[in-house]
Chain A
Amino acid sequence: MAILADSNTRLIVQGITGGEGSFHTQQMVEYAPETIVGGVTPGKGGEWVHGKPVFDTVEAAVDATGANASVIFVPGRFAADAIYEAVDAGIGLIVCITEHIPVHDMMRVYDYIKDTDSRLVGPNCPGLLTPGQAKIGIMPGYIATPGYVGVVSKSGTLTYEVVYALTNEGMGQTTCIGIGGDPIIGTNFVDVLQMFEDDPQTEKVVLIGEIGGRAEVDAADFIKANMTKPVAAFIAGKSAPEGTRMGHAGAIVEGGEGTAAEKIEALEEAGVRVASNPEEIPALLK
């Protein structure tokens, strides 16, 4: 068992012929060849990339391959359109890696998708990895190993750091998922925590958050009220000054809200063990 993606996933890559799309398609194909069924780049239909067929539209790709998931690598200003196309083609799981998507585009996407059967993960996220079964996005495959820990994070590379530390300590993972660091994202901490709570194979959960917004406080409320599985956490940005955006569009402390301190307090209050160094996480789960 795992959440969102496993060996039965049939994935297409939107933007498969671009530099990053092609590079990461290769990595995904090497990791789990059977799960990648094709790709889409308008105008490049009929070509092949890393042994996978390219289509002009998502609809054509779905018709030909029975795809049920899509990963998006197209540039920021075309990304919203790529998400709409995937939703309209009936794709169930849409993972958007693209960063720098305008907030107004995402507000419309968020509204459009909520009344459909599609789930969006991201944007501006590393995607997800179900070790040994499926890799959707850009997480390096070798850092993870199958096991019983579920990992959910706002970050990209910080997630790798923690997953790598878990693997080195012999603690494998069910699924590792990066939900993205933008202000408006398709899947939030609470959605994923519920999935891990419901997944019989996941025994423990790691949550990696950062400054800005109140998603971690909402997660703490959810954990307190609904979770039976132990959770460990790390919150990045303790040393960040107020009023300055730390890279991610969402990572900013405004009007004294969204500080690392208030998030850590809320999580500890909910019984979560919070690490001061991400490499301490495995020890906190033992």
Chain B
Amino acid sequence: MPFFNHRNNLIHAGIAVALSAINIFIVITLDPPNAAQGIFGNIFYIHVPVSWTAFLLYFMVMISGIMFLTKKESIWDHRGLAFAEVGTLFMFLILTTGPIWAKPAWGHFWPWEPRLTTSLILFLIFLGYFMLREFGGNTEQVSRYGAVVGILAFLDVPLIFFSVKFWLPEMQSHPQVGSYFDSGNLFPTFLVIFSLITFIIISTLMVRFRVSILKQNNIN
């Protein structure tokens, strides 16, 4: 039965699309967080919640990997793959919105800022993860290998972050919530946008999760 023929799925997807529209409206109409940057600063309202989401999803890939290796239940493999796919999509959004903001703020599209660099490296590791899942061997093998790479990628995060941070200490001017922006504490705004994004993620995850199971059943 097609996914959207199910009434609840259709309602959920409809709400997700409506919330995305509201989200874009909020991001555009809010005052810029830093007056000097004008409208370019507004991209920060989407950049920060998207970053939280992407790292949360990659964290969930690690958790799914640990669960799969310990419990050996294929459901965790499907979850891990769905988290990785949606996480990589959001990582791509970080890598797009970050440079758009960085150019007017710092004068370069790519300033080697630690968080942005960590995102790029994780993104590359996960591109390798998808290649491994495609060419790594039989289904049972790639599930195990995928779980290991998912854990390995997240273990690498603090090492990447601190090495880039020490490498370019002058990049510590990265905006910190409450200190850099005119409007003071933006945490509640970010939290609202994050909640809206979460709804879209759940919808996307449901679709990807179902596709992964259908693919598996088709192969078997």
Q: Do A and B bind each other?
A: no
B residues in contact (CB < 8 Å) with A: none
